[in-house]
Chain A
Amino acid sequence: SSELTQDPAVSVALGQTVRITCQGDSLRTYYSSWYQQKPGQAPLLVIYGENNRPSGIPDRFSGSSAGDTTTLTITGAQAEDEADYHCHTRHSSGRPYLFGAGTKVTVL
């Protein structure tokens, strides 16, 4: 598929680990980036490339990839991590950029 597929929603107990996946053929060619978006706010970059965090992003956020799937992991989820998470990559045909539809993470 030329698109990126994400689960619409996942939930996690406070302090536990949640994995958010994103699947698409283009991920076999390029790494992804992940964005956190809280209601009424602009997206915020949390992970890019192989597994890189911008300055200020807590180390409980990590990324990994295998085949056509990329995964954002939040280890020890906090209440403030409740948000939508969007994956992104470049289309493997060279036509630029794809976004997943987003996954809503609820921290219980």
Chain B
Amino acid sequence: QVQLQQWGAGLLKPSETLSLTCAVSGDSFSYYFWSWIRQPPGKGLEWIVEINHSGSTNYNPSLQRRVTMSIDTSKTQFSLNLSSVTAADTAVYYCARIRDYYDTSGENTAWYFDLWSRGTLVTVSS
């Protein structure tokens, strides 16, 4: 059974760097894109970044200048760094697996997050 387990600091001060790591067990790690998603308290989900096994990344433009995502295929882990955090970065952070969907004509017309971690609440406070 595939599992995502994440860890990282839960309390940061403004201007510090958020660092989270997600470990994948029981899966073909190299087949997929892996992603980070966050959810501020009482709000909706916000996609942050994705990466594949070769290190190819795609970013949410609104966060791109502060985000770094890396992958370690030997450990089947991937990590998120978010620099210069503020109170607005307070959120539950999830790691997730991305799957491709091909419609009946064979076109790749959807993507979906089929596996999620339990999430880590990261609070930014002075």
A residues apposed to B, CB below 8 Å: 29-33, 35, 42-45, 48-50, 52, 54, 86, 88-90, 95-102
Q: B residues within 8 A CB of A89? A: 110
Asked if residues A45 and B113 are in contact (CB atoms below 8 Å), the reply is: yes
Closest approach, in angstroms, between the C-beta of B8 and any C-beta of chain A? 16
Most buried by A among B46, B61, B103, B116: B116
User: Which of B35, B61, B99, B113 has the most chain A CB atoms inside 10 A of its CB?
Assistant: B113
Q: Complex formed: what's the CA distance from A70 to B45 in Å?
A: 18
Q: Which of B6-61 contact A (CB under 8 A)?
A: 35, 37, 43-47, 50, 58, 60-61
Nearest chain-A residue to B118 (Cβ)? A42
* B interface with A by C-beta (< 8 Å): 35, 37, 43-47, 50, 58, 60-61, 94, 99, 101, 103-104, 109-114, 116-119
- Structural contact, B110 and A43, CB atoms closer than 8 A: no
| CB pair B43 A42 closer than 8 Å | no
A42 vs B116: C-alpha distance when bound (angstroms): 7
Q: In the complex, are the beta carbons of B44 and A99 less than 8 A apart?
A: yes
Q: Which residues of the other chain, A, contact B101 by a CB distance below 8 angstroms?
A: 31, 48-49, 52
- Known interface pairs A31-B101, A31-B103, A96-B47. Does A45 touch B112 (Cβ–Cβ under 8 Å)? yes
Instruction: Determine how close the nearest CB of chain B comes to the CB of A87; give it in whole angstroms.
Output: 10
